[in-house]
């Protein structure tokens, strides 16, 4: 089989998601750092911006965005087991955790990376060399890193990480780790014996930031060892069957019997992330209503359209409204809309039980699509 190329970074959330999938499904690939010459010329021009991850196919085509890349491989039949469950309830849960992991855990990911320099900085300076231009001397690399890291520290603020919220971010993350740790006691992955798109969504922050950077790595290993073992399992090419958990390595559990530990995680999402995504959809719809038709032409949206305010665990927080989140949310909606009436009723009942029924109504007045590697408004 001809090799793919993966352009990314060791410390990148979304590169980690793609790398783990390719390893597990034994897809031959070479990884090239995003600071290389080819990435900064050919690849960057092809995808229209500096963004990772990107794969280059054996035919010379490019696919950008972690979710789009996994869907590319899924469509081509590379998945040893499909990452999309057939059971309606499990599929909805998988999409929910894809959204939450990819976007709802960014506060913890950014806080634990950028607010503990006494522990993390030396490691980060080294790992960020993946995206620095080739040919820089040691003296030149430091100021370039400081400039790049300065941008990321500002981005953390746009995700709601401020001195006022630091302790709450840590408390929230500790609660999540405790809940996920309990859930993984009896199963190797989120929904049973193999990873789904929900696992890959969670893996993005839980590996690249929270299981590699020194400060959160120590926290995870000492307070949630099963979660850390899950990150290792997700990142390994071999399939490990632990008979204490499951007799088969490729079985998801029955969607009609959702474990209480999973319901607890879903209620956590309702408390921790539902207010934010609700505020983002409301902001988006108001913003759309204020735009002219020419402004809404199907062109690139950029990463954000403004800042939305909401209450998060007792704090008034403002975070950047990114249409990409709407794109991921639509995936849950599209899956739900394609179900039979009785299946929809079953999904609604589960979401109501876990305080998440509102998420089915959070719809933007205009769809977000991916066109030429960019987010765009649909016509």
pLDDT for the residue numbered 241: 67
Place of tokens 């960019």: 374
pLDDT for the residue numbered 247: 57
Full set of structural domains in the chain with CATH: 4-75 (3.40.30.10), 88-268 (1.20.1050.10), 271-377 (no CATH)
53 and 66 Cβ atoms separated by less than 8 Å: yes
What pLDDT, in 10s, does the model give residues 159-186? 999 999 999 999 999 999 999 999 999 8
pTM tops 0.85, yes or no: yes
Closest CA to 280 of 235, 238, 234, 326: 326
Closest CA to 358 of 275, 256, 272: 275
Q: Which residues of the chain have pLDDT under 70?
A: 1, 241-250, 293-302
- DSSP per residue, 89-140: HHHHHHHHHHHIIIIITHHHHHHHHHS-HHHHHHHHHHHGGGGSPTT--HHH
pLDDT for the residue numbered 239: 76
What pLDDT, in 10s, does the model give residues 319-346? 999 999 999 999 999 999 999 999 999 9
């Amino acid at each position: 089989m001809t090799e793919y190329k993966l352009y990314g970074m060791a410390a990148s959330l979304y590169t980690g998601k793609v790398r783990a999938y390719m390893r597990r499904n034994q897809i031959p690939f070479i990884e090239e750092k995003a600071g290389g010459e080819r990435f900064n010329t050919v690849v960057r021009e092809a995808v229209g911006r500096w963004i990772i991850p990107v794969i280059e196919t054996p035919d010379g085509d490019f696919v950008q965005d972690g979710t789009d890349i996994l869907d590319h491989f899924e469509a081509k039949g590379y998945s040893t087991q499909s990452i999309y469950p057939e059971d309606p309830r499990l599929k909805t849960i998988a999409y929910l955790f894809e959204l939450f992991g990819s976007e709802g855990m960014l506060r913890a990911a950014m806080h634990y990376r950028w607010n503990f320099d006494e522990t993390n900085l030396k490691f980060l300076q080294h790992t960020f060399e993946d995206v620095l231009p080739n040919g820089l001397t040691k003296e030149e690399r430091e100021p370039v890193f400081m400039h790049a890291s300065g941008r990321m520290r500002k981005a953390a603020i746009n995700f709601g990480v401020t001195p006022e919220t630091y302790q709450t971010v840590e408390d929230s993350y500790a609660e999540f780790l405790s809940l996920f740790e309990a859930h993984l006691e009896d199963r190797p992955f989120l929904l049973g014996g193999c990873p789904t798109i929900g696992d890959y969504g969670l893996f993005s922050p839980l590996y690249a930031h929270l299981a590699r950077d020194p400060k959160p790595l120590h926290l995870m290993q000492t307070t949630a060892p099963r979660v850390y073992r899950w990150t290792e399992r997700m990142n390994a090419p071999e399939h490990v069957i632990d008979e204490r958990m499951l007799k088969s390595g490729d079985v998801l559990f029955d969607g009609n019997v959702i474990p209480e530990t999973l319901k607890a995680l879903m209620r956590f999402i309702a408390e921790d992330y539902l207010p934010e995504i609700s505020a983002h959809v409301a902001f988006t719809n108001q913003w759309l209503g204020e735009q002219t038709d020419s402004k809404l032409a199907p062109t690139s949206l950029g990463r954000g359209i403004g800042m939305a305010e909401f209450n998060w665990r007792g704090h008034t927080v403002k975070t950047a409204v990114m249409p990409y989140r709407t794109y991921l949310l639509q995936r849950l909606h599209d899956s739900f809309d394609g179900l039979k009436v009785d299946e929809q009723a079953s999904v609604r009942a589960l979401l109501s039980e876990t305080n998440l029924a509102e998420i089915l109504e959070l719809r933007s007045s205009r769809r977000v699509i991916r066109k030429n590697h960019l987010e765009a408004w649909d016509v």
